Amino acid sequence: MRIYPVIHVHDLDQVSEQVEVARRHPISGVFLIDHDADDIRLARCIDHVRLKHPDIFLGANVIRRSATEALNILAPHFPGGIPLDAIWTDNAGVSLDGDDREFHSLHSARERTGWTGLHFGGIAFKYQTPVSETDLPRLGELARRHVDVPTTSGPGTGLAADTHKLEALREGLHDHPLALASGVTPDNVESFIGLVDHILVSTGIAGDNDRIDSGKLATLLERCTVEQKNEPYFRPRIDGEAPKRSRVPLKRRVQPSTGTFTYGCPSSSRGI
C-alpha cells in the first residue's frame, strides 16, 4: 500500500515547505490540488516542485476538470512536456452503460500532448451520483478496462469509505490497482490493507493551518509499514489481461496504435 500526501496549494513557499515535510517520511509521492481552481498558480507550483525534486512521484488534480481538460489546460504551461507522473480526477468518466467516449478523448489528448503518466480516475467518488452496491462490481470491471488507477472515496471529505464498497469494487477490478482518496487516518488505515493499493491522504494527516502533521503522517506510515515492505508492483500485462503483481517497479506506457496500456520499467525512480 502506497501513501501519497495531498498538498492543498496556496502559494509557492507553502507548497515547497509541505513537500519538504512530506519527504522526511517514506512516502511514495505527493499530489497537488488547488481548491480555488487557480490553474496558473497550480502550474507554477507543479513546475517549482518538479525543478526542486526531479525524482519525486508527482501528481496533481486540476479541480473540477476531466483528465482530457486537465491535459489541455496544463499543456500550454509546459511546452517541453507536462512534468507530472499522474493526474487525479474526481470522475474518470466510467459509465455503467458502457459509454467510452471520454477515454477516446483522453487518448487523443495523450497523443497530442505526449503525456504518458498515470490517470488516477475517480469512480463511485464523493459528491457524485451514488452507485448501488450491486452495480459496484460492474463499475470496477469497466474501470479496469479504461483507467490506470481507479480511485474511490468515502461519502464526503474526511469520511471513510465502507470496506464493503471496496470489496465490491475489488470483485470487478480483480488485481487491477485501486486507490482511496478520502477518510483515511492513522486510526483506520489498517482496515484498508489488502483492499486498496494506493492512499491519497490530506485531512487524516492535517494539523493546524491545513498543513501536514508530521506525527500523524509518521503514525499512518508506521501502521502500514509491514504490509508496505511486502507490497508487490505490477508486471507487464498481455493485452486484454488485468495487470498482475510483480516485485519490479513499473510505469505506465501507452500503446499508440490501440490506446491500451501496459506496464514497463521506468526510466527513473518515480515508477508507481
Mean per-residue pLDDT over the chain, rounded? 86
| Distance separating alpha carbons of residues 244 and 253, to the nearest angstrom | 15
Report whether pLDDT(258) > 70. Answer: no
Of 257 and 181, the one with more pLDDT: 181
Q: Cβ(260)–Cβ(100) under 8 Å? A: no
| pLDDT over 50 (residue 256) | no
Q: What is the DSSP letter of 212?
A: B
Helix (H) or strand (E) holding 201: strand 198-201
What is the structure's pLDDT at 230? 42
Report pLDDT digits (tens) over 147-173: 999 999 998 888 899 999 999 999 999
Grid cell locating 252: 505506465
pLDDT in tens, 97-131: 988 999 999 999 999 999 999 999 999 999 888 99
Nearest CA to 223 among 199, 249, 248? 199
Helices assigned H by DSSP within the chain? 12-23, 39-52, 67-74, 101-113, 136-146, 163-173, 214-223, 225-229
Asked if pLDDT for residue 236 goes beyond 50, the answer is: no
Q: What's the whole-number mean pLDDT along residues 250-256?
A: 40
Residue 257 has pLDDT above 70, yes or no: no
Per-residue confidence (pLDDT) for residue 238, from 0 to 100: 35
Across 135-156, average pLDDT: 96
- Of 238, 233, 234, 272, nearest to 255 by C-alpha is 238
Copy the grid coordinates of residue 79: 511546452
Enumerate residues 6+ apart whose C-beta is below 8 A from 232. Answer: 245, 246, 247
pLDDT at residue 197 is higher than 70 = yes
> For residue 240, what pLDDT is reported?
43
Name which of 139, 141, 134 is nearest 173 in CA terms: 141
Over range 32-39, report the average pLDDT: 97
What confidence score (pLDDT) does residue 164 get? 96
Asked if residue 95 has pLDDT above 50, the reply is yes
What digits encode the pLDDT tens for the residues 47-94? 999 999 999 999 999 999 999 999 999 999 999 999 999 999 999 999
**The predicted structure's pLDDT at residue 111:** 97
Q: What is the pTM assigned to this prediction?
A: 0.85
Element (DSSP H or E) covering residue 155:
none
216 has a pLDDT exceeding 50: yes
For residue 254, the model assigns a pLDDT of 39
CA–CA dist 181, 227 (Å, integer): 19
Residue carrying the nine cell digits 474501470: 143
The radius of gyration computed from the CA coordinates of the chain, to the nearest angstrom, equals 17
Q: Is the pLDDT of residue 232 over 60?
A: no
- pLDDT cut 90: percent of the chain above it: 77
Alpha carbons 30 and 49: distance in angstroms, whole number: 10
pLDDT at 248: 30
